[in-house]
Amino acid sequence: MISTLCRLLKLPQSACQAMEYSNDDDEPQFGMDEDEDDTEWRYSSFDVAEDIRPAEVFLSSSCSSEVASGSVFHGKGPHRRQNNNRVILHFDLDCFYAQVEMIRNPELRDKPLGVQQKYLVVTCNYVARKHGVNKLMSVIDAKEKCPQLILVSGEDLTHYREISYKVTELLEEYSPLVERLGFDENFVDATELVEKRLRHVASSDVSVNGHIYNNQSIDPRVEEHIRLAVGSQIAAELRTALYKKLGLTGCAGIATNKTLSKLVSGIFKPNQQTTLLPESTALLLSCLEHLKKVPGVGYRTAQKLQSLGLSRIQDLQVFPLATLEKVLGAAAAQRIHSLSHGVDEAPVTPSGPPQSLSDEDSFRNISTETEVVQKIEELLTNLLDRMQKDGRQPRTVRLTIRRFSATNKWFNRESRQCPIPNHIGQRITTGNPDVMAPLVDILMKLFRKMIDLKAPFHLTLLNVCLSNLQPASTSTRSSIGFFLKHPSQSSFKLNSSICSQGESGTSTHAKNQVLSRHKHFDIAAGDLKETNIMTASGESEADSKNLPDKQQIKSGSSSPGTDLYLPPGIDPEVFRQLPEDIQREITSTISTTLSSGAYKQNKMTLQKTASKGDISHFLRQNPQCESLISSTAKAESSHSLSVECRQDAQIQPNNIDYSSTQVAGSSGGHTEPHSSSSMDADPVDLQTINRADQVPSHVDPKVFSELPAELQQELLNEWKQQETVSKIHVNKHIGKARTAKETKQTSAKSTQSNSLFKYFKPT
DNA sequence: CAGGGTCTAT
DNA sequence: ATAGACC
Q: Is the CB of residue A693 inside 7 Å of nucleic acid strand B?
A: no
Over residues A183-204, the pLDDT tens digits come to 999 999 999 999 999 998 887 7
| SS3 state of residue A645 | helix
Q: Is the CB of residue A295 inside 7 Å of nucleic acid strand C?
A: yes
Instruction: Determine the nucleotide nearest to A446 by Cα–C1' distance.
Output: C1
Write down the mean pLDDT value for chain A.
Answer: 63
| Residues 367-396/A with CB < 7 A to strand C | 396
Q: Which is more confidently placed, A101 or A11?
A: A101
Over residues A154-185, the pLDDT tens digits come to 999 999 999 999 999 999 999 999 999 999 99
As beta bridge partners, residue A358 has A465
* Rounded CA–C1' distance between A121 and B7, in angstroms: 28
Instruction: Determine the nucleotide nearest to A161 by Cα–C1' distance.
Output: B4
Residue A580 scores a pLDDT above 50? yes
Cβ contact A624:A317 at 8 Å: yes
- Between vectors from CA A731 to CA A19 and to CA A535, what angle results, nearest 5°? 25
Task: Tally Cβ neighbours within 10 Å of residue A76.
Answer: 5
Q: Residue A83 — very low, low, confident or very high, per pLDDT cuts 50/70/90?
A: low
Q: Is the CB of residue A525 inside 7 Å of nucleic acid strand B?
A: yes
Instruction: Determine the nucleotide nearest to A298 by Cα–C1' distance.
Output: C6
| pLDDT number for residue A752 | 32
Distance CA A557, CA A577 (A): 10
| pLDDT number for residue A411 | 74
* Rounded CA–C1' distance between A117 and B3, in angstroms: 8
Q: Is the CB of residue A182 inside 7 Å of nucleic acid strand B?
A: yes
| SS3 state of residue A288 | coil
- Phi, psi angles (nearest 5°) of residue A353: -70, 155
Nucleotides of C under 7 A from a protein CB: 1-7
Q: Is the CB of residue A185 inside 7 Å of nucleic acid strand C?
A: yes
Distance CA A115, CA A157 (A): 11
Instruction: Determine the nucleotide nearest to A181 by Cα–C1' distance.
Output: C7
Q: Residue A429 — very low, low, confident or very high, per pLDDT cuts 50/70/90?
A: confident
| Residues 501-560/A with CB < 7 A to strand C | 526-527, 529
Maximum mean pLDDT: which of A300-304, A436-440, A496-500: A436-440
Cβ contact A488:A508 at 8 Å: no
Task: Please give the single-letter amino acid code of residue A395.
Answer: R
Q: Which of A13-22, A59-68, A319-328 has the lowest mean pLDDT?
A: A59-68
| SS3 state of residue A375 | helix
* DSSP type of residue A608: P
By C-alpha to C1' distance, B2 is nearest to A117
Burial of A630 (0-12, 13-18, 19+ CB in 10 A): middle
Q: Residue A701 — very low, low, confident or very high, per pLDDT cuts 50/70/90?
A: very low
Q: Is the CB of residue A296 inside 7 Å of nucleic acid strand B?
A: no
Q: Is the CB of residue A58 inside 7 Å of nucleic acid strand B?
A: no
* Rounded CA–C1' distance between A52 and C4, in angstroms: 46
Q: Residue A405 — very low, low, confident or very high, per pLDDT cuts 50/70/90?
A: confident
Q: Is the CB of residue A462 inside 7 Å of nucleic acid strand B?
A: no
Nucleotides of B under 7 A from a protein CB: 1-10
Residue A759 scores a pLDDT above 90? no
Instruction: Determine the nucleotide nearest to A382 by Cα–C1' distance.
Output: B4
- Phi, psi angles (nearest 5°) of residue A234: -65, -45
Over residues A314-355, the pLDDT tens digits come to 999 999 999 999 899 999 999 999 999 999 999 999 999 999
* DSSP per position, A692-732: H-PPPTTS-S--GGGSHHHHHHHHHHHHHHHTSSS---TTH
Percent of residues, chain A, with pLDDT higher than 70: 51
By C-alpha to C1' distance, B7 is nearest to A744
Task: Please give the single-letter amino acid code of residue A626.
Answer: E
Q: Between helices A436-450 and A422-430, what is the axis angle to 10°?
A: 130
As beta bridge partners, residue A414 has A401
- Phi, psi angles (nearest 5°) of residue A148: -85, 0
Over residues A256-269, the pLDDT tens digits come to 999 999 999 999 99
* Rounded CA–C1' distance between A298 and C7, in angstroms: 9
By C-alpha to C1' distance, B9 is nearest to A329
* Rounded CA–C1' distance between A137 and B1, in angstroms: 9
Q: Is the CB of residue A302 inside 7 Å of nucleic acid strand C?
A: yes
- HSE of A264 in the Cβ direction (CA atoms, 13 Å)? 34
| Residues 446-475/A with CB < 7 A to strand C | 446, 449
Q: Is the CB of residue A331 inside 7 Å of nucleic acid strand C?
A: no
- HSE of A475 in the Cβ direction (CA atoms, 13 Å)? 9
* Rounded CA–C1' distance between A405 and B1, in angstroms: 14
* Rounded CA–C1' distance between A333 and C3, in angstroms: 20
Instruction: Determine the nucleotide nearest to A531 by Cα–C1' distance.
Output: C7
Residue A87 scores a pLDDT above 70? yes
Q: Residue A67 — very low, low, confident or very high, per pLDDT cuts 50/70/90?
A: very low
* DSSP type of residue A763: -
Distance CA A219, CA A225 (A): 6
Q: Is the CB of residue A411 inside 7 Å of nucleic acid strand C?
A: yes
- Phi, psi angles (nearest 5°) of residue A253: -125, 140
Instruction: Determine the nucleotide nearest to A157 by Cα–C1' distance.
Output: B3
Cβ contact A238:A92 at 8 Å: no
Q: Is the CB of residue A410 inside 7 Å of nucleic acid strand B?
A: yes
| pLDDT number for residue A620 | 31
Q: Is the CB of residue A329 inside 7 Å of nucleic acid strand B?
A: yes
Over residues A485-537, the pLDDT tens digits come to 323 222 222 222 222 222 222 222 223 322 332 332 222 222 333 322 222 22
Instruction: Determine the nucleotide nearest to A297 by Cα–C1' distance.
Output: C6
* Rounded CA–C1' distance between A573 and B2, in angstroms: 26
Distance CA A417, CA A440 (A): 13
Q: Which is more confidently placed, A521 or A436?
A: A436
Cβ contact A16:A2 at 8 Å: yes
* Rounded CA–C1' distance between A300 and C6, in angstroms: 9
Distance CA A93, CA A103 (A): 14
Q: Is the CB of residue A298 inside 7 Å of nucleic acid strand C?
A: yes
| pLDDT number for residue A584 | 62
Instruction: Determine the nucleotide nearest to A303 by Cα–C1' distance.
Output: C5
By C-alpha to C1' distance, B3 is nearest to A155
Distance CA A88, CA A65 (A): 19
Instruction: Determine the nucleotide nearest to A120 by Cα–C1' distance.
Output: B2
Q: Which is more confidently placed, A145 or A10?
A: A145
Sequence-distant (≥ 6) Cβ neighbours of residue A28 within 8 angstroms: A278, A281, A282, A341, A342, A343
Q: Is the CB of residue A571 inside 7 Å of nucleic acid strand B?
A: no
Out of A27, A101, A185, A195, the active site residue is A185
| Residues 68-127/A with CB < 7 A to strand B | 117-120, 122
Sequence-distant (≥ 6) Cβ neighbours of residue A115 within 8 angstroms: A97, A98, A101, A121, A122, A123, A124, A151, A152, A153, A154
Residue A98 scores a pLDDT above 90? yes
Give the H or E element holding residue A753.
helix A732-755
By C-alpha to C1' distance, B6 is nearest to A355
* A20 catalytic residue (yes or no): no
